[in-house]
Amino acid sequence: MNRKSFLTSFWGLLLPLVAVAQVNMTFNLGLRGPLIDDHFYGIFFEELSHSGEGGLYAELIQNRSFEDNGSTAAHWYAVGGAQMRLTTDNMMNSVQQHALLVETTGAGQGVRNEGFWGISTVAGTTYKLSFWIRTDENWQGTVTARLVDNRRAEIGQTEITVDASTTWKQYTAEVTATSTDASGCFDLIFGSEVKATIDMVSLFPPTFNDRENGMRKDIGQMLADIKPKFLRFPGGCYVEGVWSRDLNSECRYLWKNSVGPQEGMWQTSAWAMTGLTTIRTSVNIFRKHST
């Protein structure tokens, strides 16, 4: 069959289908449809492309509890010749499965976190830092928390005096950015030689309604301005969670496990833990705007 004969046969078969598919529609623009009650308008949350962790949830450190990957400390890098690796020894509780062992040979060495596509800082803004640390032998020294820009120049730092031992201890501090940068990083730099284990490293900007462990101010305000009548959380496939072969759900959202300190919350992955805190900090916000 030549090309002309083929095209003739093809259109001959297609035209009856096109004729059958034709539909006539009539619109009456003057006729109002049924009224929909305001309580039917709401929003729902689904964790897509870091919309929760790294988005709505204000935490700036990615993989803050070292659970994103069981073999390597994803999103963390050694600084100044330090050595680092994941460890499962002497965890702070049964919930935490991994921590980061850091070894330095002198001052100026430590670890760096890249955040979510970089750590965004605004000049003059103060960020709240917390981290847990322990050592196999008693160690007294300093840890410098440092914000750096995309060229790795320092744009804010604070020095914390640490008295570490075999018992896990939490330290908190504040660091103020001296420059605005959308794609910086965060460093923890040790002041001397040390072999230390760190866990639950957290850095928070000011949050929506100044709530502890809360949501980003800009996103939280935009959602509140919608004045939704309801919030569905979680959305999509996260309702049922990830199921193992024996049909036991391993990481669906269980609100009871979101009650208590962050370092003691149930988790099988970082998004599960941050997702739980997202719902905990979200409920009152949207309930306030539903009246």
pLDDT in tens, the chain (291 residues): 555 555 555 555 555 555 556 788 888 888 888 888 988 888 888 777 888 888 889 999 999 999 988 899 999 999 999 999 999 999 999 889 999 999 999 999 999 999 999 999 999 999 999 999 999 999 999 999 999 999 999 999 999 999 999 999 999 999 999 999 999 999 999 999 999 999 999 999 999 999 988 899 999 999 889 889 888 877 766 666 555 555 555 556 666 766 778 887 654 334 444 444 444 444 444 444 444
Q: Distance of alpha carbon 70 from its chain centroid, rounded?
A: 18
pLDDT at position 266:
54
Please, which residues have CB within 8 angstroms of residue 251's CB and are 6 or more apart in sequence? 241, 242, 267, 268, 269, 272
Q: Which two tokens stand for residue 121?
A: 């800082």
Predicted confidence at residue 273, as pLDDT, reads: 43
Burial class (CB in 10 A: 0-12, 13-18, 19+), 252: middle
User: pLDDT value at position 291?
Assistant: 41
**According to the model, what pLDDT value does residue 172 have?**
97
Q: Which residue has the tokens 């949050």?
A: 207
